[in-house]
Structure 1
Amino acid sequence: MQFTPALESNMRHGNSLITLCLMVVLAILLAACESREQTDAVSYSPVGPVPAAPQRPGDPRKGYEALLNAPYITCGIPDSAYKQTASPPRASSLIPGRSGRNAELPYALTAYTTPQGVELVVNNCLSCHAGFFDGKLVIGLGNENLDFTEDYAAAAESAGAYVEDEAEAAEWRRWADRIRAMAPHMITDTVGANPAINTTLVLMAHRDPKTLAWSQEPLIELPSKTVAPVSVPPWWRMAKKNALFYNTEGRGDLARAMMVGAILCADDVNTVKRIDAYAPDIHAYLASIKPPPWPFRLDPKLAEQGRAVFERTCSGCHGTYGEHPSYPNLVLGLNEIGTDPVLAQNAAGGASDRFIRWFNRSYYGELARAAPAPGYIAPPLDGIWITAPYLHNGSVPTVEALLDSSKRSKYWTRSYESSAADYDPVGLGWRYTGLAQGKAGASDSKARKKIYDTTLPGHSNAGHVFGDSLNAEERKAVLEYLKTL
C-alpha cells in the first residue's frame, strides 16, 4: 500500500492512534471502491447447462393465498373510480380462495388499502399469467390474448375524472405517472405479444437502485421503443428450471428474481421487503402447479411410438418425462438454435448492461442476479399442447409447424376466442390462417392488429429446424406423444 507524505510523517512522529484511524479509513474506502467495481461489473452466463442454486423454502398453500389476495402491486385506480367505470365481472373471472373485496373482483385485480386509508384496485400477476381454455381459467397459463397495441396513457389519465378527493387523486396520480412513463415503450405490433421486458426496463430507469425511489425523469437511458415480442411462458415450468426467462437472465434466488414484477409501484425498500417475506411461498406454489391434461381423444399406441422418437431426437435438450423425468436446463447458442436473436442480443450484447448493473446493485440483486446467456433455454415441454403460440416470440402458431419449418407462414392470423372450437387437436395450437401479405392487406385496424408479421425485427419464425429431419410418420407420432406431457 502507498502512503501519502502526511501519513508517513505521522508514523515517524509516533502519532499511532491517528495513523491507525487513517489506515482504517483508507481500508474502508478501498474496500468500498473494490465492492462498487465488483457490483458494477457485468458478467454474462455461458451457453450450456444452467447450474442449480439454493432456494429458500416456501409453503405452496400460503403462496396461493398470497398470489390471490396479497397486494404485491401497491398502486392502482381508486376503488370509487373503479366502481363507476367497470362492468360487473363475469362468473368465469371469479375464482375461489379470495376473501373480502377480492371475492368480488375479476381474477386479475386485487383490492389494496394504502397506509393513508385509500382503497385501491390494483393489477396482479394473473393479468399475464392466467389464460382461458374453452371458458375455464387456467392459472399459470400465459395470457396470449392481451392487447398491448394501444397507448394506454390516455386511458389512465381519463380515470382521473372519476377520482373523488385529494387523497385518492394523489394515489391515482402515482399510478398514472408510471403508466405514462411505460406507455410509449410497451406498444406491440400484434395482439398477444407481451412487452414485459421493455416495461420492466423503463421502470428501472425511473428508479434509484438503492432506495427504489421514483424519479419523474429517467436516471439512466431508456430502452428502445421498439418492442421485441415475448410469448408468456407457463408457470408450471418453474418446478424444473434453474433460472428465469428465456435467456436465463434471472439467476440465484428465484423468488427474489421474480419479485422484480413489484417494481411498478414499490417506491421504497421496505415495501419490497414485505413482499419478500412471502415471495418464497409464491415461488413454491408456482412450482407445484401441474399443467391441464389433454382434453381430447388420444391414440396410446401412436403416442408410445412417438415417445421412442422423442427420446431419440428431442430429449437431449427438452428432457425426458414419465416416472423418472430428467431435464438438462440447457441453453443453446444463437447459431445452434437459429431462432430470432434480437431478445438475446439485446440482453447479452451490451445494450442492456446498464439495466443489469441496476438490478445487481438493487435490493433484488442481494440474493438474485441478472446474468443473461447469449442464447435461449430449451424449455420443459409439460403441457406444451396448451401453450401456443411457440418460440420465445410467439411466431409459430402450432407445434406441427414448429416441427416442420416448411409449414410456417410469413404472415398469419388467428382468432382469440380460446374455445375448444378454435383449437387444432392435430397441429397442437390455435387454428390459424396463413396470409399472402402482411398488415397492408388488412380490411380494418382491428384485423391489422391480429396479423403476425415474421419479417419485423424480433418477430422471425426461423430456426428450431430439428424436426425437419423427421419423416411424416415420425412427426405425427411425436405430436401424439406430446399430448401426454
Structure 2
Amino acid sequence: MYRKQTIGILCILAFITLSATITKRDDDTTPQPEPIPPQQQQLGNAQEGYKYLITGNYVSSGFPYKFYRIIAGKDKDNYLKRTGKNANVPFSFNVIKNEQGIDIVVPNCLQCHAQVFDKHLYVGLGNSFIDFSNTKKQNTILTNTTFKFLKAIAPKQFEGSKAIVQSFKAIYPNLQTEVRGVNAADRLAMLLVAHRNPVTLQWSDSNLLTVPDEVVPTDAPAWWLLKKKNAMFYTGFGRGDFGKFLMLSNILTVKDTTETAEVYKHFADVLAYIQSIEPPKYTKPINRELAMEGELLFTTKCSKCHGSYGPNSSYPNLLIPEKIIGTDSLLFKTNQQNPQFIQWFNYSWFATGNHPAKLVPYNGYIAPPLDGIWITAPYFHNGSVPTLEGVLNSKKRPTYWSRDFRKPSYNYSTIGWNYTAHKNAGGRKVYNTTQPGYGNYGHNFGDNLSDADRKAIIEYLKTL
C-alpha cells in the first residue's frame, strides 16, 4: 500500500514538474510546441492498395524487361511472393507494360520504404541500407553506357526508357550524399519539380527553379507511424491529402497531369494499405518487470511529446520548435530558405481538386510516434545516431562512425546497429556528424537520467 502511494505521489510531482517546464509563462518568449490539427483523409481498399504498390504503373518509364534479365538475371528471393514476371525482379521494382506494349522494369516505392531485417522483408520499414553516396558514378554508368548501348541495339525498346533517362541525367549528378545509409528524397523532389511545370507537370530540359547546393540527408520514417500522424514528413509541413504526397514518385517519369490523375485514383487505396501496417514485434525476450519501470519513467519524461501506448493510447501530434528540440536544423531551414519550392507545390496540380495538399513550413520538427522504434535504427531525422542508447545519452553518440553494410549485425542491448567509432572522418564510408545536415546534437532530454533509468526506458520501448 505504501509503495502504491509513493508511486502515485511521484507521478503527480513529475507531472507538475513537466507541466511547469513545457507550459508557457506570460514572461517566457521561448516558442512552444504546436499541435497539428487533424486532416481528413480519403478511405480506400487496403488490399487493392498493396496490389498497386507492388505491381502498379505509378512510375511509367524504365528498363526493358528482356534486357534487364540478361544483365541482372533472376531474383532468387521473391520476398513479396509475386507471380509472373514480377516474381523475377527484386521487391524494389515492378514489371509493367508501357504504351508500346513492351514489358519494362520500373522502380517502386519499396526502394526507400522496405528493408530486409534478419532475413525477413519488412514492408514499411525505412531502407537504411540505401546508397546515394555514389550517384555521380552511377549516372555515368546508367546514362552514358547502359542506356546508350540499349538505344544503339534496340531503338524501339529504348522509347520506353526515354523519360527515366532524362530524369536520371538531371538528378543523379546532383543527388550525392556524404555517406551511405541516408536518404536523399527531399533533394530528389527538389530536382524533379525544378524541371516540371507546376500546372501541367510537363518536363522542361532546363531548370524552372533555382536549386540550392545542399543535399540534406534524412532517414526514411516507418510507414506504420502514418496512421497516427496529422501531417507528413519530419518537419510536419505536409498537410491535406496524404495520397498526393505518397504519389510524388510519379513525377520521376510522368508526361502530364492526365497521367497523374489516373495514377492518383489508386492512392486512397495505397494510403489505406499503409495505414493497415502494424509495427513488428520485438523478436527477443523482454524483461517485463524492468519494462514496467520503464513505462512509468516514459510516461513522466517522454509521453508529453511522443504520446502514450497501450489500450488507452494517444498521440499529441506536436511540432517542437528548434529552441526546444535543438537537433540539426538544416532540413527545416532548407524549406524556409527556398520558398520557391513551397510555392511550386502550393500552386501545382497537387494543391487542386476536392482533396488538395499543401506545404506549411515550420522552424522545428514533429515529435514522432515511437511504435516499432526498436527496429528503426539509426535514429534522429538524419540517421545520425546508431543506437537508442545514444538517443537517451548524448555522451554515447559517436562523432565519426561506420557500420558493416555487407554483414550487418544488430545490437539488442543498446538497440541499434553495431558500429565502429572512428577518430577522424573517413570519406563516404564513415558517418561524419560534424558536417552540415549530419549533426547528432540536440534532444538531450535523457542526459539527466541515471543509467538504470535509461535502461528501463529502453526495455519499455522494446514493447511498443
Do these two structures clear the TM 0.5 threshold for a shared fold by scoring above it?
Answer: yes
Q: Which residue of the partner structure matches residue 430 of structure 1? A: 417
Q: Is the 8 A contact 1:132 1:418 kept in 2?
A: no
Per-residue CA deviation, residues 345-391 of structure 1 (Å, 9 max, x unaligned), is 111x2x22111111111111121001122110110000000000000
State the Cα distance separating 1:450 from its structure 2 match: 2.4
Aligned residue type for 2:270: I
SS, match of residue 466 in structure 1: coil
> Which of 181, 184, 187 is residue 176 of structure 2 equivalent to?
187
Q: For 2:93 and 2:405, how far apart are their aligned partners in 1?
A: 21
Q: Which residue of the partner structure matches residue 73 of structure 2? A: 87
> Which of 324, 327, 333 is residue 345 of structure 1 equivalent to?
333
State the Cα distance separating 1:213 from its structure 2 match: 0.6
Q: For 2:407 and 2:362, how far apart are their aligned partners in 1?
A: 33
> Which of 436, 449, 463 is residue 428 of structure 2 equivalent to?
449
Q: For 1:418 and 1:305, how far apart are their aligned partners in 2?
A: 35
Q: Is the 8 A contact 2:76 2:88 kept in 1?
A: no
Per-residue CA deviation, residues 62-96 of structure 1 (Å, 9 max, x unaligned), is 111111111111111122221221132132x4312
**Considering only aligned residues, what root-mean-square deviation do their CA atoms show, in Å?**
1.4
Describe how 1:321-470 pairs up with structure 2 within 5 A.
321-347=309-335, 349=336, 351-366=337-352, 367-417=356-406, 422-439=409-426, 448-470=427-449
Q: For 1:483 and 1:287, how far apart are their aligned partners in 2?
A: 21
How many residues end up aligned between the 2 structures? Answer: 425
Q: For 1:468 and 1:248, how far apart are their aligned partners in 2?
A: 26
SS, match of residue 447 in structure 2: helix
SS, match of residue 272 in structure 1: helix
SS, match of residue 468 in structure 1: coil
SS, match of residue 239 in structure 2: strand
Q: Which residue of the partner structure matches residue 20 of structure 1? A: none
The 4+ residue runs of structure 1 with deviation greater than 4 A are none
Q: Which residue of the partner structure matches residue 146 of structure 2? A: 159
Per-residue CA deviation, residues 119-154 of structure 1 (Å, 9 max, x unaligned), is 210000001100011111110001101111111211
Q: Which residue of the partner structure matches residue 85 of structure 2? A: 101
Q: For 1:265 and 1:174, how far apart are their aligned partners in 2?
A: 5
State the Cα distance separating 1:417 from its structure 2 match: 4.5
Q: Quick one: percent identity of the two aligned structures?
A: 39
Give ranges in structure 1 of 5+ residues lacking alignment: 1-45, 440-447
Per-residue CA deviation, residues 160-198 of structure 1 (Å, 9 max, x unaligned), is 213543332223232111111001221011010111101
State the Cα distance separating 1:249 from its structure 2 match: 1.7
Aligned residue type for 2:383: G
Q: Which residue of the partner structure matches residue 285 of structure 1? A: 273
SS, match of residue 202 in structure 1: helix
Aligned residue type for 2:225: R
SS, match of residue 431 in structure 2: strand
Change (3 A) 1:88 1:103: closer
Aligned residue type for 1:94: Y
Larger radius of gyration between Structure 1 and Structure 2: 1
Q: For 2:363 and 2:62, how far apart are their aligned partners in 1?
A: 36
Q: Which residue of the partner structure matches residue 246 of structure 2? A: 258
Per-residue CA deviation, residues 8-35 of structure 1 (Å, 9 max, x unaligned), is xxxxxxxxxxxxxxxxxxxxxxxxxxxx
Q: For 1:144 and 1:418, how far apart are their aligned partners in 2?
A: 14
SS, match of residue 331 in structure 1: strand
With normalisation by structure 1, the TM-score equals 0.85
Q: For 1:365 and 1:338, how far apart are their aligned partners in 2?
A: 32
Q: Is the 8 A contact 1:202 1:223 kept in 2?
A: no
Q: Is the 8 A contact 2:150 2:158 kept in 1?
A: no
Q: For 2:360 and 2:349, how far apart are their aligned partners in 1?
A: 16
The answer on 1:130 being equivalent to 2:106 is no
SS, match of residue 247 in structure 2: helix
Aligned residue type for 1:280: A
> Which of 232, 257, 262 is residue 269 of structure 1 equivalent to?
257
Per-residue CA deviation, residues 91-117 of structure 1 (Å, 9 max, x unaligned), is 2x4312x34321222111101211222
